[in-house]
Structure 1
Amino acid sequence: MPDIDPQNVFLGRQPILDRNQQLFAYELLFRSAGADQGNFASFIDGNQATATVIVNTFSELSLADALGPYQGFIKVDQGLLFSDLINALPPHTVVLEILPTVAQTAEMIARCEQLRQAGYVLATHVRPESLDVDGKPLLRIAQIIKVDVSRVEPERLRQLAPALKPLRKTLLAEKVESNAQMRLCHELGFDLFEGYYFARPTVIEGKRLQSSETALLRLLGLISQDADTAAIEAVFKQEPVLTINLLRLTNSAGSGLATRITSLRHAITLLGRRQLLRWLQLLLYSGASSSAPAVSPLLQLAATRGRLMELLVDRTPEVRQCGRDLVDQAFMVGILSLMPALLGTGAGAVLAQLPLAVPVHDALGERRGVLGDLLALVEALEDEARERAAAVLQRLPDIDAACANQCLTRALGWANNLAR
């Protein structure tokens, strides 16, 4: 087996939501890498590679911190299940998702019971085509049961859910890809939900903008044009919720200062244009029309993109030529790249609404320039498109797999802090 570089691993995470569509946990996706295939090699001994990558990721890259207050679901195969390395994973942070390929032998069940006693939460899969839940001892041990709803017809799912309910387990619907599937699973009493319906911005495609969201776009345009503070203040005055949030943010940002905020204009000045711009960009994804915005997968994705772009561009030679402006532009590219999905419109319509700097416009519209390359890399990592990511890395000689991975871990941690 080739040597494994524990840093050469790409990370991904799929949101898992509760019945109120609040963030509950993440499914962690690990992609090992090797220099012989553009940092995307596959290993002969997959079991050992998976275990080594996961453990080293937690220890070296502090993914436990990047998860924030949420748990991480980790897929466990035969090799990892019986490996001593699994004991290095923190029980309070991970959920061990036993793959269906692991045979339910007496030895396997004994091992799972041992892990339960050690404090680990176990998840198992049930085949949706089968209604027979008897004779499957792992269903008795595991606390969470996952059902792949993409593989079962609605009527069969209506039969399966009641058969699982007497087990009194947490039911997780995975691969939820449509609003109809979501409504049915909710009706049938599923507790947790996972799938592209939540993880991809299409969940809100075509939605009508609330008044506060329209105001946010107006404010973004004004700040991008370096408008007078009075014009910015006038927009805030029309939006009470935004005004309250602005004052709270300013108070938080200026804690410890003796200065008392005397007006909206004063708050805007104290906060500063750069900080205000970032706050507005993120607020678009957090439910701006609500006084208590929920933690949404879209907010997490937008925040992670912006921060990751910022961290990555700081490693490029271009930043030494353009300075802080390029870092700020990278953050804006990451945030605004999800605006078409948020607004249910094309990228061209979004770009037409905002007077953006040329590097930002080129990156968003045509994936041109260093910012365009970085955005392409971020999107490839999200899509788990290994070949595409490897091709982009060829155009970014100052960034390798280890660098991208470290930046991603930091970005995940930063985005998690928004929810606290």
Structure 2
Amino acid sequence: MYPTENAFANPGAASVSIARQAIVDKNQAVVGYELFNRSVQKGEHTASSDAQMLFNLLSMAESETLVGKALLFVNCTLDSLAAGHVDLIAPEHYVLQIPAVPLSQIDQIQLRLPTLRALHARGFRLAFDYSVLTQPYEEWLPLAAYIKFDTVVLKSATITSFIRLAQAKTQAHLVAEKVSTQTQYLQLKELGVGLFQGDWFARATLVEGQSMRPGQATILQLINLVRKQASTAEIEEVLKRDPTLSFNLLRFINSAGFGLRTEVSSFKHAVMLLGLQRLFKWAALLLTTSTLSGAAPAIGTTAVVRGRLMELLAAEALPADDCDHAFVVGIFSLLDSMLGMPLETALANLTLPDSVTQALLHRSGPLAHYLTLTLACESGDDEAFAQSAQALQLTEKQINWAHLQALAWAETLGET
């Protein structure tokens, strides 16, 4: 018998801290947010932290609260642009903020140009600082959708000169950063700056939450299957065996950042829609942001058993799609314990069929009795077991056999 969810801590969840600061127009209406990764130390902005930031943005349970429908300005390193992480996000939602190269590496300007042109061709809007207006960056300038001016670094007269130069050479939107007074705002507005960012409008605010990390061994297994171009069925099998992996995939593919316009409610659908190339990149990103871990924690094993048992029980009477949904109900029934938040909050950030959410949140709908029966198998609640079995017209022999199969299937987790 497996322990109940109250017996578990929160082993698979990692703390996530992302700050956002509003970017406003002349009328002080919000047009976007610049995002900052507060999960790493200041000054440690690297390709690795970029990967972590992107993963957190796409998978943390509070991401919709964080970004809403606004345009997102994301800081990048030149190395992270070449790493392919941005292939996972929808260009229409993001502005990539590109840093200037160090003075000692001026040759990098030409070397990075093909990558920037490729991103621009894909539809990404690129933002640069005032350096893009200088002669060495002449070939970068046509790619600029936004040019940002730091009011702390640049003196008033210098900003004025750069603004005039930008207005003469480009159609890019001009953004004044770190605006701290109304006087600054009015002066810059008079010069023709159209977008503003700084404490005078809004201080950066923190959004903290939880994201889950599956074990690295499972992620490596998924990556190996993708590299071998395994069948969808084989890949789906791995996803079914790790609730944190499957949650991350559904959360990502249904996120605003992915830019999908249709509901994805099964692992098979997610794999087919994502495709092997993007699935590989997603798994690689997940691997770079995961922490070392050993065997699957008890909570994950329990979730897997629930999912498999519900799937087997549903197969006695329901069509294949409903059996898939039954598996999702079982495997996500412990998300509250995994994420350290109410189940309703976790599910609000997933696009799931009504039958799944009704069963999980209200114990109603066609899958509710299957969940109740599964929980009764764990807890030894004879009364609930009998009532659910009768409602589903299942015999004790059928249920016990399915339970043994589910337990045996979960045991193979350590063998793969």
TM-score tier (shorter): 0.3 to 0.5
Relative to the length of structure 1, the TM-score reads 0.42
Relative to the length of structure 2, the TM-score reads 0.43
Larger gyration radius, structure 1 or structure 2: 2
User: More relative contact order in 1 or in 2 (CA 8 Å, sep 6+)?
Assistant: 2
